[in-house]
Structures are given as structure tokens and as C-alpha cells.
Amino acid sequence: MKSLAPFLCLLTLAVSGCATNGDVKQQPMHQHAGENNAACADTQTAPSNTCAETVSAAFDAQGKLWIAWVNDGHVYVQSSTDKGVTFNAPVKVNAIAEDVAAKDESRPKIKLDAQGNIYLTWVLTLDKKRSTYVRFSRSVDGGQHFSEPVIVNDNVAIIRHRFDSLAIGKNGEIFIAWLDARDTEAAKKAGQDFSGLSLYYAWSDDGGRHFYPNKRIATHTCECCRLDTAIAPDNTPVVVWRHIFDGGIRDHALVKFNDWDTPGDTHRLGSDNWKIDACPHHGPGLSIADSGIYHAVWFSGSPSHQGLFYAHSNDAGRHFSEPLNFGKAGASHPHVLARGAKVSVVWQEFDGSHNTIQRMKSNDNGKTWSTPETVAQTPQAADQPFLLSDGQQFYLSWKSRQQAYQLRPLGE
């Protein structure tokens, strides 16, 4: 265990407070959309994930499902022991309401370690336009109480610190990466050009009581696309993001850490050569199999490479296979998950009347793929799809507007 001397203690914003977790079961809600609209607009109505725009989910080591969502400025956590059929009463994480980013590519994250400790991150929106902080809270008593939220970014200027990504190491290490404007603002004050933002991270090896000082991974990142982080078999973080390469090319990049203190070299993920002076709001997805094979998905609007793409790497992200183009025109927001040699990919499409979730799967490490199939649909607006596994099978984690959160088994 390293000395605590080099740790930088986190800054706090809110006064302390905690909520208790009852034993009351909350049944899934099945009201019509009109009834849900009215209920969600009523501030006296008990908080419900039905009213949330986004839901993040994770399984713990015992197969219990945990979800995090936002209602009226509070992050809430619920758990389910029956794969989402019923949930316990929601537990409030932040005692004081705040402007939590919970839409599209930016949303709270929830992860658990092998001992069942629960970790959450989210982005706090400040008063100044596009200014944000990254927040963190944890529970060490099975979700009954949560710690006072703290600020992860040690640069506390009223600037952008956003699009956080959370991952938990095999020994309980907590890794948080995000997009940060501190270098952009410094260059501006010096009268220098600086494209995009920078990618920073912090990590903890004492269960989140303290974090080591922020470090930079890369400069010149795209400003508005989600990151993704996975833990490699050697227990080091791997981060993927949309990068601004020379010439204004906004393709994706990957860094595998040498150890928790040392980011490795930056490698290019795909060569779409998409030159665009704007942010696409489409971040990449990454999953690493126990065998060490990296599986990645992303979106591109390049004239020569349009749509969704999948590729895999057998050499820790230094090289990737020829990208597979999948999905119909307008397809968006892919997510990938690997379990052994089995790999699943889900994404959004619109068929003219319904938002649909499509899935394709591979049983041979991504070498060949099944024909895409529709696994969910709704005439309502819908959140982006995500994949989960309880160690036995794949699940679709999904939320449509004014409907309760859904966890759908997808099988192998």
C-alpha cells in the first residue's frame, strides 16, 4: 500500500447527509405516458426512475442489479435481486439538490467492487455556461448510506470538467477519467491556439477516501463525446475517446496504462479521417475479454466511412482489425460487451415510427457476426442502449421516455 502522503484530499461542496434504504419493494410502473407525464410534473410524487431521462446500471459479484438515475437534482440508487422485475425503495445519494448532468452522452455512472462497495460519479453543472465539475460518492454498507459528494478535479476553476468515465480495478482501485479545459484556458490566456480539451484522470487505492492528484493523459480531445474505460487482464486501465488529430481529424484514440500512475502511448483506433470542426456527440465503446482481446465500437460521419463500426485488437490496442461497418443509415450510439469468446453489440435505429434497439452477436471473438435483430422498440423517445452481464448471459439495459427502466435478457 502506498503512503497517503502524496494523496490530494478531495474538496467538498455539500453538507453531509445520508439516506437510509428501506426494505419496501417497488413494483415496476406501467402507467400510460400521459399519466406518467402528470406524475413526474408533480413535485409531491415520490421519486421514480420512470421520470428519469437516463439510467446507468451494473451487476455486483453476487448477481444483484444496481441502477443510478436522477430526479429533481438528486442522484438515486436502487437494487434488484430478481433481474429488474422489482426494485427496493430508491436511496438518495446527494442530500442537497444540484444541477446534475443526466442526458445523452453525459450521465451518472455506477460501479461496484468485489466486496460490494458502490461507487458513483456524475457531472455537476455550474452557473457559467458549459462549466462543470466531476463529483464522486461511495457506499460501504450495501447502498444504505452514501458519502458526502466530493469534487474529483483538483483544478476548481469555473471551467469545463466533464464527460467522466468510471472503472474499478481487480483490487478495488477506483479510476476516473474526464475531459478538462484547464490546458485550453491556460493557452487562451497565453494567446496560444489550443484545439479541443485535454483528457485527465485521478485514481484511488484506498476505496475512494482519497485520490492521487490529477494527471493528464492526452491533449486535444474532442469536447462533447463520451469516454469509455475498461480494465485489462493485467489490471491496468484502458481509455478510449474521440481525439482531434492533425488537420482537424476527429477520429478515436486509445491509451493503455503501463501502471496506475503511468499512461502509455496513444494509439489510433480506426482511420476514418473525419474532418469536422464540430463535436459529433458520439463517443466510442470498449470491452476487453478475459483473453485480452479488445473489442471497440464507434460512429463516424466521414464521407468514406459513414455509420457504425466494430473492430478488435489482439495486441493490447496497438493495432485493430479491419473495421466492420454495421447498422442502417441513421444508426447511432453503439455499445459492446465481451464475455469469453462471445461478443454482443447493441445500437439505436429509427424505422420511421419506432425507435428500435438492434443487436448482433459473435461466438468467435468478433471474427464473424450474426444478422442484426430487433430486441426492443418504442414509439416514444428513448435513451441510448447499454449491455450488461451477470456472468451467465447478456442483458439489454434501456430506458424509454416516461416508462420504467427495463432490463431485458438477451441470452448468449
| Residue 74 lies in domain | 52-145
Instruction: Write the pLDDT tens digit of every residue in 322-359.
Output: 999 999 999 999 999 999 999 999 999 999 999 999 99
Residue count of the chain, please give it. Answer: 412
What does residue 182 show for φ and ψ, rounded to 5 degrees? -65, -40
How far is the C-alpha of 40 from the C-alpha of 4, rounded, in Å? 45
Last residue of a domain, one of 127, 145, 163: 145
Beta strand 228-231 with 373-378: parallel, antiparallel or unpaired?
unpaired
**Does an H or E element contain 183, and which?**
helix 182-189
How far is the C-alpha of 396 from the C-alpha of 87, rounded, in Å? 17
Q: Are residues 131 and 257 in the same domain?
A: no
Instruction: Write the pLDDT tens digit of every residue in 15-49.
Output: 233 333 333 333 333 334 445 566 687 767 789 99
How far is the C-alpha of 8 from the C-alpha of 200, rounded, in Å? 15
pLDDT of residue 73: 97
Residues 6+ apart with CB under 8 A from 322: 311
Q: Are residues 265 and 184 in the same domain?
A: yes
How far is the C-alpha of 396 from the C-alpha of 296, rounded, in Å? 18
Last residue of a domain, one of 295, 326, 357: 326
Asked if residue 394 has pLDDT above 60, the reply is: yes
Q: What value does the mean pLDDT take over residues 186-201?
A: 97
Instruction: Write the pLDDT tens digit of every residue in 235-248.
Output: 999 999 999 999 99
Q: What is the DSSP string of 185-222?
A: HHHHHTT----SEEEEEEEESSTTSSBPPPEEEEEEE-
Place of cell 482531434: 244
Residue 196 maps to a domain: yes
Q: Are residues 105 and 198 in the same domain?
A: no
Instruction: Write the pLDDT tens digit of every residue in 262-298.
Output: 999 999 998 999 999 998 999 999 999 999 999 999 9
Instruction: Write the pLDDT tens digit of every residue in 138-151.
Output: 999 999 999 999 99
Q: Are residues 201 and 296 in the same domain?
A: yes
Residue 115 maps to a domain: yes
pLDDT of residue 45: 79
Residue 29 maps to a domain: no
Structural domain count of the chain? 2
Helix (H, G, I), strand (E, B) or coil at 41: helix
Last residue of a domain, one of 145, 168, 201: 145
The helix/strand count (H/E) of the chain reads as 2, 30
Q: Are residues 197 and 114 in the same domain?
A: no
Asked if residue 254 has pLDDT above 80, the reply is: yes
Asked if residue 132 has pLDDT above 70, the reply is: yes
CATH of the domain at 170: 2.120.10.10
pTM to 2 decimal places:
0.91
Residue 82 maps to a domain: yes
